[in-house]
Amino acid sequence: MTCFRLTSRALAATLSDGAVLLNLHTKRYFSLNETGTRVWTHLQRGTRAEPIIATLLAEYEVDELEARRTVLSLLDELVGEGLVERVECS
Amino acid sequence: MSLATTAVAEPTLVLGGDSGALHWQTGAVRGETYAERTVLTHVDTPAVLHVEHGRLRRGPGYAAAPALVRRELARTGAILRLRERGAYVVHASGVVDHGGRAWLFIGNSGSGKSTLAFALARRGWRVLGDDGVVLRPAVDGTLVAHGWRDPLRVSAALCGIFPELAPLAPLIDEQDERRRVPADVPFAARAPVAACICLEPGGCDGLARQSETAAMAALIVQSPWVLLGDAHAPAHFDALRRVASTVPCWRLVNTDRQLHDIGRTIDSLRS
């Protein structure tokens, strides 16, 4: 089973309107809106994608297909930028 | 649902690296950073300054280098030493109001940091620095801006607007592309941070509240040493976060009108 967790090269600042992420290796920074920051909060604990999708379904007016698509898309993006990594979990 | 927007940092640091060192450059100063030491060299003159365990040590060519070269190396070395002590330089001007609170103007070179600081100094505000201030979180959680002891310099082209600058015209540094003169202003040592204003030159004046994420992004760009990614980076990043999250920030698109209006602009923010 695949889990997602933050990499050691990521710094994050959680702010009132979102978050700013900084990759210390690539020197690129990113901003997340409020919803993206909710996803990021999950990732700080290390998690599978399913609990994140469930949170968005519970907290936002979005259908499951859309929630799954956007969460998986963001996770792919964060993995591609080296801010998050995939690890095996039980 | 849009989850993320991305932006590429535009650091004034240019970085590269190999297995043993991080190579970077800011302005005319190059750095090689290893675990506990940094070697600083200058692009124009073979002069070396070492930063080792919080101390500066002169290397080959330093003593014989021109004063400007020594000053640029020493400034960079001082910035690195301050980071080791939990104090972080931001490319900003800082001025202290009559209530003893610091207002920071951040922005790129030429955005108006120095001239607006000078315009406020004419109203009795005290200056912390015109091209850099040092942020240090205090024990009680407040953020304190400390002065950077460079003289405030403003463009000699402003002599027509500020007559008191005219007698200083002979003091123009001919090596300075911006033809600035040192201005005689009252300085302050430190003050708690009241607000930050992100400056952008523009065709017409405009003032808007800056979101915390936008302010944080601007602070990263203007305090690029956080990008060194060393052991001090997390604390440095957190100090910038505290500015963005605890201090109100505005974005000011400014024209020459602000040379006269900046006092009223800030009064409007305070009210």
For the cut 90, the answer to whether the pLDDT of residue B229 exceeds it is no
A9 lies within 8 A of chain B by CB: yes
For the cut 80, the answer to whether the pLDDT of residue B257 exceeds it is yes
Average model confidence (pLDDT) across chain B:
88
- Beta strand B249-254 pairing with B206-209: antiparallel
The answer to whether the CB atoms of A31 and B213 lie below 8 A apart is yes
List, as ranges, residues 52-71 from A with C-beta within 8 Å of B.
56, 60, 62, 66-67, 70-71
What pLDDT score was predicted for residue B11?
46
A13 lies within 8 A of chain B by CB: yes
CA distance B190 to B222: 20
The answer to whether the CB atoms of A66 and B6 lie below 8 A apart is no
Nearest CA in chain A to B211: A17
A20 lies within 8 A of chain B by CB: yes
- How far is A89 from chain B, CA to nearest CA, in Å? 25
B220 lies within 8 A of chain A by CB: yes
The count of CB pairs under 8 A between chains A and B is: 93
What pLDDT score was predicted for residue B16?
67
The answer to whether the CB atoms of A11 and B2 lie below 8 A apart is no
What pLDDT digit, counting tens, does each position of B121-163 carry? 999 999 999 889 999 998 888 899 999 877 788 888 888 888 8
Q: Which of A16, A27, A56 sits opposite B9 (nearest CB)?
A: A27
The answer to whether the CB atoms of B15 and A27 lie below 8 A apart is yes
Instruction: Summarize the confidence of residues B220-227 as an average pLDDT.
Output: 90
The answer to whether the CB atoms of B226 and A28 lie below 8 A apart is no
CA distance B38 to B96: 34
B15 pLDDT band (50/70/90 cuts)?
low
Q: With contact defined as beta carbons under 8 Å apart, do B79 and B119 qualify?
A: no
CA distance A58 to B60: 65
B246 lies within 8 A of chain A by CB: no
Give me the long-range contacts of B239-242 (CB less than 8 A, separation at least 24): B239/B88, B239/B135, B239/B136, B239/B137, B239/B143, B240/A13, B240/B88, B240/B90, B240/B135, B240/B216, B241/A13, B241/A15, B241/A20, B241/B216, B242/B137, B242/B143
Residues of B in contact with A22 (CB under 8 A): 9, 220, 226-227, 237
What pLDDT score was predicted for residue A87?
93
- The total of other beta-carbon atoms located within 10 Å of residue B109's CB is 10
What pLDDT digit, counting tens, does each position of B40-78 carry? 999 999 999 999 988 999 999 999 999 989 999 999 999
User: What are the tokens at B255?
Assistant: 């024209």
A36 lies within 8 A of chain B by CB: yes
For the cut 80, the answer to whether the pLDDT of residue B86 exceeds it is yes
Q: Residue B42 contacts by C-beta under 8 Å, 6 or more apart in sequence?
A: B28, B29, B30, B65, B69, B72, B73
A18 lies within 8 A of chain B by CB: yes
The answer to whether the CB atoms of B7 and A29 lie below 8 A apart is yes
What pLDDT score was predicted for residue B6?
55
pTM: 0.90
How would you classify residue B179: left for phi > 0, otherwise alpha for psi between -120 and 50, otherwise beta?
Answer: left
For the cut 90, the answer to whether the pLDDT of residue B102 exceeds it is yes
List, as ranges, residues 12-31 from B with C-beta within 8 Å of A.
13, 15
Residues of B in contact with A19 (CB under 8 A): 213
